[in-house]
Amino acid sequence: MTQDARETIELVARSAYGKLVAYLSARTRDVAAAEDALGEALLEALAAWPRDGVPEQPEGWLLTAARHRLLDQQRRRRSRERHEAVLASLAEGESASADPEGLPDERLGLFFVCAHPALDPSLHAPLMLQVVLGLEAACIAPAFLVSPAAMSQRLVRAKTKIREAAIPFELPEERELPGRLDSVLEALYAAYGLGWDAIQGADDAARDLAEEALWLARVLLQRMPEEPEVRGLLALLLFCESRRAARRPAGGGYVPLSEQDPGLWSEALIREAEAQLSAAAERGRPRARFQLEAAIQSVHADRRRTGRTEWGAIALFYAELLHLAPTLGARIGHAVAVAEARGAAEGLALLDGLAPAGGSAHQPYWAVRAHLLKRLERRAEAAEAYDLALELTRDEAVRRFLRERRGSS
Amino acid sequence: MQYSFLIFESPADFEARRTDGEGPYVAAWRRYHQALVESGAYLGGAPLKPVATATTVRARDGKRLVQDGPFAESKEQLGGFILLELPSLDAALSWAARCPAAATGAVEVRPIDAGMHETICNPSASA
């Protein structure tokens, strides 16, 4: 009996942990608190189940126990609740979805809620990151290339509108989901990127963010299996994920994609990414943004088999991508690919077209610019660009990488 | 003759509304409203929440286009409306000039289209 109970707890913890955390954090947007609460519930189960027997619905039991812990926590810090409007709205929805059976991913639903058309579309994704994933405005701001102050102000404005205009904080109808999908994909991509940028071994919360984004993308696919772009995004994230070990080697440090050892890439993740990308291609033509982004990563992944990178193909994909989503990141990626395919001077000319407004505070812009200037042997300008890139990142591994590059220029 | 006053308030006036009924701006509105009611001209009206709460809707080709923000961006924003029964435009302009929002914002005076109103509300009578 005791052994049986323990095994059940382990099994439920493994299979339903994410689901339960998602369900619990949907109300509070506080994943850490939800995990604490679930952890306490698992401890309770370890004490209670061997004694009283395994409940008929173990997940439901854990959910109820964790919710009680969560309510205790909330009572303790009610005085410092920050986002009153959203919390109030979330509380309103509580009774509507209290069914522990099925446990839909509540967080995913909230992503769609944040994409309400009456809210400024450029704020949909930031709102999701703050309201659903619980990130601070200052953390979110870099992902959208705005200042922390501006981001904070805009999020306050959005939440004021939610409250004052009574935007319903409830799940949109099925037919409304596709119209809101782009914002959700953008938010998941940004969340993954924020987690990715911050992966330094030390910052577990950020690493979790990347994993959460990947997990939510998988849940989204279950929910909307016919949307090619969901597969495109999932493929993109999987390609990035496949390089985790190569990008941040065990001893620390940062290795740019072109210098990574393909032997360190995860073959399983790459295969899964390729499968999603082909499945997307079967469902949708023409290719949309995330499928193109994933296609670019697929070309990079081919280096593990061919030993070389087809920069010409990558440049073409970027050119296509720029028609659909001329983001700063895509424009810089295009410049890199053109530089590799047709020479540093051509790549630099494309970067010149972006400066200064677009790239002035964007670290990758200056890092790429420095790299190209160095290759053109414009050493003084390269050193200057490296310095600017160094000023724009606090990531010690990246800084070390940039300093080394700068030093040998 | 019926007139509508479309009240355009300055950002400062919008700000002044947040005084929980205290402050000179809201007090002036209270007096103005009372004067309109006592004159017998007042038919109805309402203040609107700040423009940050506005959503603009269009329907095109059977599709609903919803947008955050007001129909027109401008410094003075539509902050409310009043419907009045008055003998003439001159009377309406006099009342509009007394409106507290006129001092820093603007009041647009528009006569009600009674004929159109009749056509819409009582189609059989006008047919």
Question: pLDDT, tens digit, for every residue of A36-45?
Answer: 888 889 889 9
- At residue A272, does pLDDT exceed 90? yes
pLDDT digits (tens, 9 = 90+) for A196-246: 776 544 445 555 788 889 989 998 998 899 999 999 999 999 999 999 889
Average pLDDT, chain A: 83
Domain residue spans of chain A: 2-97, 322-409
pLDDT digits (tens, 9 = 90+) for B100-116: 999 999 999 999 999 99
- The residue behind tokens 């940004």 is A190
Q: Report CB contact under 8 Å: B66, A118.
A: yes
What's the pLDDT at A98? 37
- The residue behind tokens 């009578």 is B125
Pick the range with the lowest mean pLDDT from A58-62, A226-230, A236-240, B8-12.
Answer: A58-62
> Which of B49, B68, B69 shows the shortest C-beta gap to A164?
B49
Whether A122 and chain B come into contact, CB under 8 Å, resolves to: no
Q: Report CB contact under 8 Å: A118, B50.
A: no
Q: Which residues pair with B77 in a beta bridge?
A: B9
What's the pLDDT at A266? 95
Mean pLDDT value of segment A166-188: 86
**Among all residues of chain A, which has the CA nearest to that of B50?**
A164
- At residue A366, does pLDDT exceed 90? yes
What's the pLDDT at A271? 96
Question: Predicted confidence band at B41 (pLDDT cuts at 50, 70, 90)?
Answer: very high
Mean pLDDT value of segment A343-351: 95
* Helices B24-39 and B89-98, packing angle to 10 deg: 150
Helix (H, G, I), strand (E, B), or coil: what is residue A159?
helix
Question: Predicted confidence band at A68 (pLDDT cuts at 50, 70, 90)?
Answer: confident
For A96, other C-beta atoms within 10 Å of its C-beta total 9
Q: Report CB contact under 8 Å: B68, A160.
A: no
What's the pLDDT at A231? 96
Whether A157 and chain B come into contact, CB under 8 Å, resolves to: yes
Chain B partners within 8 Å of A118 (Cβ) = 55, 66-68
Of A172, A299, A196, which Cα lies nearest the Cα of A247?
A: A196
Which domain covers residue B108, as residue numbers?
Answer: 2-126
CATH code for the domain in which residue B19 is found: 3.30.70.1060
Q: What is the DSSP letter of A173?
A: P
Average pLDDT, chain B: 92
Compute the distance between CA of residue A23 and CA of residue B38 in angstroms, rounded to an integer: 57
What's the pLDDT at A400? 92
Q: Which residues pair with B60 in a beta bridge?
A: B63
Pick the range with the lowest mean pLDDT from A247-261, A366-380, B37-51, B58-72.
Answer: A247-261
What's the pLDDT at A4? 77
Compute the distance between CA of residue A105 and CA of residue A26 in angstroms, rounded to an integer: 8
For residue A354, give how far its alpha carbon lies from the nearest alpha carbon of chain B (Å): 29
Q: Which two tokens stand for residue A311?
A: 């920069």
Phi first, then psi, for residue A56 (nearest 5°) are -65, -40
- At residue A86, does pLDDT exceed 60? no
Q: pTM of this prediction?
A: 0.73
Chain A partners within 8 Å of B54 (Cβ) = 165
Numbered residues of chain B with Cβ closer than 8 Å to any chain A Cβ: 49-50, 52-55, 66-69
Q: Which residues pair with B4 in a beta bridge?
A: B83, B110
- Judge whether A329 and A290 are in contact, CB under 8 Å: no
The DSSP line for B111-123 is E--HHHHHHHH-H
Which candidate in B18, B51, B53, B71 is best for mutational testing of the A interface (most A CBs within 10 A)? B53
Q: How many CA atoms lie within 13 A of A343 on its CB side?
A: 5
What's the pLDDT at A201? 43
Number of domains making up chain B: 1
Mean pLDDT value of segment A254-266: 92
Question: Predicted confidence band at A83 (pLDDT cuts at 50, 70, 90)?
Answer: very low
Chain A partners within 8 Å of B53 (Cβ) = 160-161, 164-165
Length of chain A in residues, anyone? 409
What's the pLDDT at A113? 83
Whether A85 and chain B come into contact, CB under 8 Å, resolves to: no
Chain B partners within 8 Å of A121 (Cβ) = 68
What's the pLDDT at A92? 45
Tell me which H or E stretch contains A218. Answer: helix A204-223
Question: Predicted confidence band at A131 (pLDDT cuts at 50, 70, 90)?
Answer: confident
Question: Predicted confidence band at A143 (pLDDT cuts at 50, 70, 90)?
Answer: confident
**CA A364 from chain center: how many Å?**
18
Q: Report CB contact under 8 Å: A165, B53.
A: yes
Chain A partners within 8 Å of B49 (Cβ) = 164-165
Q: Report CB contact under 8 Å: B50, A164.
A: yes
What are the helix (H) ranges across A249-377?
267-283, 289-301, 303-306, 311-324, 328-342, 344-352, 363-375
CATH superfamily to which A322-409 belongs: Tetratricopeptide repeat domain (1.25.40.10)
